[in-house]
């Protein structure tokens, strides 16, 4: 998942999964607790993907190799403003 297109595709897949989970909850197929656990994980993965895209954009802007960017751990991405 080092190309922007692949990252964006993965983001789309995660968004589709969010929608599916909401539909499953509405249909009584899963509990709210099950939905919440998976949604939290999806939100973290989305944050990591968007962060990776920002890193790649910044690398290009400053003449660096965007392929040198890497996914940061959840703690870094989720709490970098703290």
Domain of residue 59 covers 4-79
Which two structure tokens, joined as six digits, stand for 15? 């968004």
Residue 76, classed as helix, strand or coil, is helix
For residue 82, the model assigns a pLDDT of 57
Tokens 């692949």, residue? Answer: 6
Give one DSSP letter per residue of 30-71, joined into a string.
Answer: S-HHHHHHHHHHHHHHHHHHHHHHHHHHHHHHTT--GGG--P
For residue 79, the model assigns a pLDDT of 78
Rg, C-alpha atoms of the chain? 15
For residue 1, the model assigns a pLDDT of 54
The total number of structural domains in the chain stands at 1
- Let me know: does 11 contact 5? Beta carbons within 8 Å: no
pLDDT in tens, the chain (82 residues): 569 999 999 999 999 999 999 999 999 999 999 999 999 999 999 999 999 999 999 999 999 999 999 999 998 998 766 5
């Amino acid at each position: 998942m080092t190309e922007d297109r692949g990252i964006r595709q993965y983001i789309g897949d995660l968004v589709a999964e969010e929608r599916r989970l909401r539909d499953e909850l509405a249909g009584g197929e899963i509990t709210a607790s099950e939905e919440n656990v998976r949604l939290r994980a999806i939100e973290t993965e989305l944050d990591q993907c968007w962060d990776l895209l920002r890193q790649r954009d910044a690398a290009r802007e400053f003449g660096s190799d965007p392929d040198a960017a890497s996914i940061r751990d959840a703690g870094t991405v989720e709490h970098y403003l703290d």
